[in-house]
């Protein structure tokens, strides 16, 4: 497989041989954080929002990432060739007694992964999700994505593209790597940040699109029954942008007009910025 060149702490390394230490607690314990931003024509969309989130993640984990401006310059330099996903990983470093003191910061751009145009989601219970409870990790996009990945794999094993996560309280949360929204009687519903979903950059941008298009939005804590009773369902993420969902568990949906308006508005926003 062709690998892109990789910046490790600002030094360009050949992708095929780029490596971090097996003693790094990012690898050993999943202690670290990451970001994924989309480069459109060489310009990462909302890079500052992504890097603010990275800084929050690192601060919550007490990892010193130094100057965010320096990381920004690394991201801009790898994004230059054009379209793709710029990935930033911050490891916990190799000093288990002082986590976060000698982190590796890894930056590279990959081609966009292949994605379906429309999604099928199975409902997967996520007892590990904070679901409104607050901890040191609230708001952090950490390297500990094992439970998210396991939810995706479990949904895929049943023939779905991915999972819609539901918390112990029965609340609809998010996908393992995306946010969720749905439409009922022309009103958009989306789980609020209070249920401790990730503060998605795409979700924030799409809420702005809804606002400027006069589309009513309700953010809150909603049961699965509300999601299943929707007229339209959609996913939101850096890679997926705004994409329709055509099945949740056994309930089918058609891609609808409100999702199409949000998608078009989002693409226009990307173009304008």
Ligand X SMILES: Cc1ncc(COP(=O)(O)O)c(C=O)c1O
Within residues 201-230, the interface with ligand X by CB under 6 A covers 201-203
Q: How far is the CB of 53 from ligand X (least distance, A)?
A: 7
For ligand X, the closer CB: 12 or 36:
36
The DSSP letter of residue 132 is: T
For ligand X, the closer CB: 198 or 209:
198
Binding mask 238-257 vs ligand X (x if CB under 6 A, - otherwise)?
A: x-------------------
Residue owning tokens 């409902």: 123
For ligand X, the closer CB: 52 or 95:
52
For ligand X, the closer CB: 96 or 264:
264
> What six digits make up the tokens of 251?
């309930």
Q: How far is the CB of 23 from ligand X (least distance, A)?
A: 27
For ligand X, the closer CB: 103 or 243:
243
Distance CA 262, CA 127 (A): 31
Distance CA 258, CA 265 (A): 10
- Count of residues making up the chain: 273
Q: How far is the CB of 182 from ligand X (least distance, A)?
A: 15
Binding mask 105-144 vs ligand X (x if CB under 6 A, - otherwise)?
A: ----------------------------------------
Q: How far is the CB of 241 from ligand X (least distance, A)?
A: 9
Number of helices and strands (H, E) in the chain? 7, 14
For ligand X, the closer CB: 91 or 200:
200
Distance CA 224, CA 108 (A): 38
Q: How far is the CB of 198 from ligand X (least distance, A)?
A: 4
Within residues 24-53, the interface with ligand X by CB under 6 A covers 36
Q: How far is the CB of 246 from ligand X (least distance, A)?
A: 20
* Binding residues for ligand X, total number by CB under 6 A: 14
Q: How far is the CB of 129 from ligand X (least distance, A)?
A: 9
Answer yes or no: are the C-beta atoms of 26 and 104 closer than 8 Å. Answer: yes
**Helix, coil or strand: residue 121:** strand
Binding mask 164-203 vs ligand X (x if CB under 6 A, - otherwise)?
A: ----------x--xxx-----------------xx-xxxx
Distance CA 70, CA 49 (A): 15
Chain residues that interact with ligand X, rule: CB under 6 A: 36, 174, 177-179, 197-198, 200-203, 236-238
């Amino acid at each position: 497989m062709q690998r892109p060149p990789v910046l490790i702490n600002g030094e360009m390394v050949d992708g095929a041989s780029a490596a971090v230490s097996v003693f790094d607690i990012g690898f050993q314990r999943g202690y670290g954080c990451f970001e994924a931003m989309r480069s459109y024509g060489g310009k990462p969309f909302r890079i500052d929002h992504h890097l603010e989130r990275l800084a929050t993640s690192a601060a919550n984990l007490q990892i010193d990432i130094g100057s965010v401006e320096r990381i920004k310059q690394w991201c801009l330099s790898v994004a230059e060739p054009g379209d793709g996903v710029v990935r930033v990983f911050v490891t916990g470093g190799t000093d288990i007694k002082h986590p976060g003191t000698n982190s590796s910061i890894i930056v590279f751009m990959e081609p966009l992964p292949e994605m379906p145009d429309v999604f099928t989601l199975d409902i997967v219970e996520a007892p590990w999700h904070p679901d409104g409870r607050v901890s040191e990790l609230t708001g952090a996009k950490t390297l500990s994505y094992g439970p998210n990945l396991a939810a995706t794999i479990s949904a895929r094993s049943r023939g779905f593209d991915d999972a819609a996560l539901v918390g112990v309280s029965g609340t609809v949360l998010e996908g393992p790597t995306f946010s969720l929204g749905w439409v009922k009687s022309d009103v958009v519903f989306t789980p609020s940040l209070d249920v401790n979903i990730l503060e998605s950059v795409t979700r924030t941008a799409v809420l702005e699109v809804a606002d400027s298009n006069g589309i009513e939005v309700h953010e809150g804590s909603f049961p699965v029954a509300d999601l299943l009773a929707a007229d339209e369902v959609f996913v939101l993420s850096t890679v997926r942008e705004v994409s329709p969902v055509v099945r949740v568990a056994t309930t089918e949906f058609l891609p609808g007009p409100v999702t199409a308006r949000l998608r078009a508005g989002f693409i226009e926003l990307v173009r304008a910025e």
